[in-house]
Amino acid sequence: MFDGFTLTRCEGDGAELRVRFGGRGPAVLLLHGHPRTHATWHRVAPLLVAAGHTVVCPDLRGYGQSAKPPTDPEHTPYSKRAMAADCLAVMRGLGHDRFAVVGHDRGAYVATRLALDHPEAVSAVSVLDAVPIGEALGRCDARFAASWWHWFFLGQTDKPAERIINADPDAWYRAGPERMGAQAYEDYRRAIHDPATVHAMCEDYRAGLGVDREHDEADRRAGRRIGCPLQVLWATQDDMVDLYGDVLDVWRDWAGGELVGGPVESGHHMAEEAPEELADALSGFWRRTAVRP
């Protein structure tokens, strides 16, 4: 995987992250979702390097082989604000003061928080298969609860999900190497068999139900928006349209500038299932913005 990339560890903002980077040109930061590691990008990252970009792929705080700080009663060490601060510190440490960011699934919330908290650093945002956490919870109905029940299961503290997941991680996550690729699968499998990683991933969801939602609602009250160009992509075989209808319309109140997007013919893990289409969509978006090789 990642031929020609460097694998290292970088200091975040209170957590050391495992990071892989390579290429030359304008920098782009790729943020994975749950329960993946940075290896989910192994088919997309080389295509973006070939298009003329420096590509940086970290394991988010708590995920993969990145650090897993102790939590607190409000789960703030696993807030998307904390994760975004890590990513900003990593990018600055690598010499990138301004960069584009792409986030999938939980990584999309980190990407959004980066753009809202640090607008001077983010030149463009691409969100894959997500709406803001505050929007998802604010619009929650029986259909959402039935489809996305894992949000509430993983977010429990009185009856922690960790005991169930750790009893048989392979049965719980039910992923295989066929679509992911053998090496990426082994990296992911190593992560889900680590009880500390499973706990940290649950903490991500606990933060999502509390402090992350509070941050989104505070931004809405203050009228804060994403000022840089915003791209929203969703998988045709996922449920974004079923849940929200016009996905772009959900994002309109959050976009202070250009808002574009559309579907990608894929299942949820589009970086693994449709890497060429995804890379083309990202590169085309960047060509129309300031992120040019």
Catalytic residue annotation: 105, 268
Task: Note the helical H segments in 236-291.
Answer: 240-244, 247-251, 270-273, 275-287
Query: Which residue is it, tokens 């939980």?
Result: 106
Q: Give one DSSP letter per residue of 122-177, joined into a string.
A: EEEEEEES---HHHHHHT--HHHHHHSHHHHHHT-SSS-THHHHHH-HHHHH---H
The beta-carbon contacts of 13-16 under 8 Å, at least 24 apart in sequence, are 13/82, 13/85, 13/86, 13/88, 13/89, 14/69, 14/77, 14/82, 14/85, 14/86, 15/61, 15/62, 15/66, 15/67, 15/68, 15/69, 15/77, 15/82, 15/86, 16/66, 16/67
